[in-house]
Structure 1
Amino acid sequence: MIPLYHDFAGESVLVFGGGAVGARKAARFADEARVVVASPAFDDRLAELAREGGRSGAEGPTVELVRAAPDPEAVGEWIDRLGPALVVAATDDAAVNAAAEAAALDAGLLVNRTDASAADRSGSRDVGSVVVPATVEDDPVRVALSTGGASPALAKALRERVEAEIDGAGAMAELSGELRAELRERGIDPQTRREAIRRVVRSEGVWKGLQKGRSNGRQEAYSVIEEVLKG
């Protein structure tokens, strides 16, 4: 499998299953997409998520809980009616999960199946079947981690280790992007721009400066860039 990022802004995600796994999946997508969860019962975290909503500034709740227990024959109707970009099969009924997966794939949609049957087939997933990775974020930097469904526990452990490693990466990404634009406006040739930015993002002085504040980090970065420009 090849990892890709997908923009769910303005899209819907349909989750079958309101237990702990369904709650975790709904929370994962609620900040970007409208999430509809179909289940006969809901985890407490889902009820709280539905009350709080996801995206800041969104009109109305971004997580909608529908109390229902779709059987394998009915899941296709749900998918046709809601037209989601992604279907998550997270119930404790393998038959329902399999039906949801099949219906989503028949409709040409992405599907994330969470039960053991999907994990057993992790090496030979169908086209359209996706794994939702563990992520670490320091906006706008985002790192995705996946074990292909083989070991969620390992993915979680790796996420905790990576969190410490990328601390401050968001500020560095913003600063280096601004500096690249400034160098372009100054007419610096592309090769020199690339070398200057490469030196900035690898400079311990710039990283340490950013920890003290953006102005300190920028000052350190200017010193690094001037060294490159002087040759």
Structure 2
Amino acid sequence: MIPLYHDFTGETVLVIGGGSVGTRKASRFADEARVVVVSPAFDDLLIDLAADDGDAAGPGVDLVRAAPDAEAVRDWIERLAPVLVVAATDDGAVNAAAEAAALDAGVLVNRADRSTAERSADRDARSAVVPATVEDDPVSVAVSTGGASPALAKALRERVETEIEGAGAMAELSGDLRTELKDRGVPAETRREAIRRVVRSEGVWKALQKGRSYGRNEADSVIEEVLTR
């Protein structure tokens, strides 16, 4: 499998199942997509998540108390036109029905109760894995074990969290510097070398911890060395 990123802005995600797994999946998408969770009962954390929402028509979580069977799932898919269906119940038959309905409708599907290894022989191209992620906006890192070891994915995610601290600030700074160098007419090869030096400079990383202006001053010194050599 090859990991891809998908922009869920303005999209709808349908989650079948309101337990702990459904809660985790819903919370993963709620900041960007409208999430509709269909289940006969809901985890307390999921109820709190839905209660914190403002505009129900935008990103956030809507709860629908219902026990979806195969036909009901198909109706929800037709009604909501989701970009992704998450099958997250504790009933394998219901999950299978949700998966089949999504695939029949040409919709991406994430079945939470079966690993990549279990499904490698019959995996459909629209079957998606939702990896563990670490974010320091605008930087995000995805970690997946193909479903073989969720515990390892969690442990790796915790490791990565410490490694990318401050990466968001560095991404914004280096992006701005790249644009400025291009506007100044600095040749592409020189621009690339200057930005490489900035993102690999321990001095810039440390300065950014004090604030954007400190990081910018240190980065300007690094770039000046490249431009004047």
The two structures have a TM-score, normalised by structure 2, of: 0.95
C-alpha distance in structure 2 between counterparts of 1:128 and 1:174, whole Å: 33
C-alpha distance in structure 1 between counterparts of 2:15 and 2:182, whole Å: 46
C-alpha distance in structure 2 between counterparts of 1:111 and 1:84, whole Å: 10
* 1:53 and 1:60 in contact (8 A); partners too: no
Amino acid in the other structure paired with 1:5: Y
Amino acid in the other structure paired with 1:195: E
What corresponds to 1:35 in structure 2?
Answer: 35
Measured at CA, do residues 139 and 58 of structure 1 come closer, stay the same or move farther in structure 2, by a change above 3 Å? Answer: farther
Give the number of aligned pairs.
229
Question: Percent identical across equivalent pairs?
Answer: 77
Per-residue deviation at 1:60?
6.6
* 2:32 and 2:59 in contact (8 A); partners too: no
Per-residue deviation at 1:212?
1.2
Gaps of 5+ in 2: none
Q: Secondary structure at the match of 1:2?
A: coil
Amino acid in the other structure paired with 2:106: G
Q: Secondary structure at the match of 1:184?
A: helix
What corresponds to 1:131 in structure 2?
Answer: 129
Measured at CA, do residues 173 and 45 of structure 1 come closer, stay the same or move farther in structure 2, by a change above 3 Å? Answer: same
Gaps of 5+ in 1: none
Per-residue deviation at 1:185?
1.5
What corresponds to 2:226 in structure 1?
Answer: 228
The two structures have a TM-score, normalised by structure 1, of: 0.94
Q: Secondary structure at the match of 2:106?
A: coil
Q: Secondary structure at the match of 1:102?
A: helix
| Superposition pairs of residues 141-220 of structure 1, within 5 angstroms | 141-220=139-218
Q: Which moved more, 1:108-117 or 1:175-184?
A: 108-117
* 2:89 and 2:95 in contact (8 A); partners too: yes
Q: Which moved more, 1:190-199 or 1:64-73?
A: 64-73
CA RMSD of aligned residues (A): 1.7
Per-residue deviation at 1:116?
3.6
Q: Secondary structure at the match of 1:74?
A: helix
2:76 corresponds to 1:78: yes
